[in-house]
């Protein structure tokens, strides 16, 4: 496993435990990605923390990492099964999708969430 893929594995573990502090230790200070919950962009540590806090407070997502590959451009593709529940446990969706991660200086700098596969 490469250092970049190790970061992604630790990220999914932090998501599974809804551990905002662990997520933040894996995010680049200048991270930026699209806000796939509310729209717009998430840029910088303060916005990243707010995004994940909102996600953990609002939803009960389960991200199961199925496979990872390194793309020719160096990004990490993570195939996952995503089950999203509301806070009462009712399932909203259960689908496979993937994300492309850009890792810079050993930290996640960019996330591109892709549609279901």
**What is the residue extent of each domain of the chain?**
3-114
CB 43 within 8 A of CB 35: no
Q: What pLDDT is recorded for position 1?
A: 65
Confidence of residue 71 (pLDDT cuts 50, 70, 90): very high
CA angle 101, 44, 92 (to 5 degrees): 60
More confident residue, 44 or 90: 44
Q: What pLDDT is recorded for position 117?
A: 56
Calculate mean pLDDT across residues 74-78: 96
CATH of domain 3-114: 3.10.450.50
Confidence of residue 94 (pLDDT cuts 50, 70, 90): confident
If you search the block for the tokens 């793309």, which residue do you land on? 71
Distance CA 111, CA 70 (A): 14
pTM: 0.89
Distance CA 87, CA 51 (A): 17
Long-range CB pairs of 2-5, under 8 A, 24+ apart, other chains included: 2/70, 3/103, 3/106, 4/70, 4/74, 4/76, 4/101, 4/103, 4/106, 5/68, 5/70, 5/76
Q: What pLDDT is recorded for position 109?
A: 98
């Amino acid at each position: 496993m490469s250092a970049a893929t190790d970061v992604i594995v630790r990220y999914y573990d932090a998501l599974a435990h809804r551990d905002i502090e662990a997520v933040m230790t894996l995010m680049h200070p200048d991270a930026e990605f699209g806000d796939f919950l509310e729209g717009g962009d998430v840029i910088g540590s303060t916005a990243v923390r707010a995004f994940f806090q909102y996600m953990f407070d609002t939803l009960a997502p389960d991200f199961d990492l199925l496979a990872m590959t390194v793309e020719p451009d160096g990004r990490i593709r993570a195939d996952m099964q995503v089950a999203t529940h509301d806070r009462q446990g009712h399932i909203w969706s259960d689908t496979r999708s993937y994300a492309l991660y850009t890792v810079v200086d050993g930290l996640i700098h960019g996330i591109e969430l892709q549609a279901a596969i």
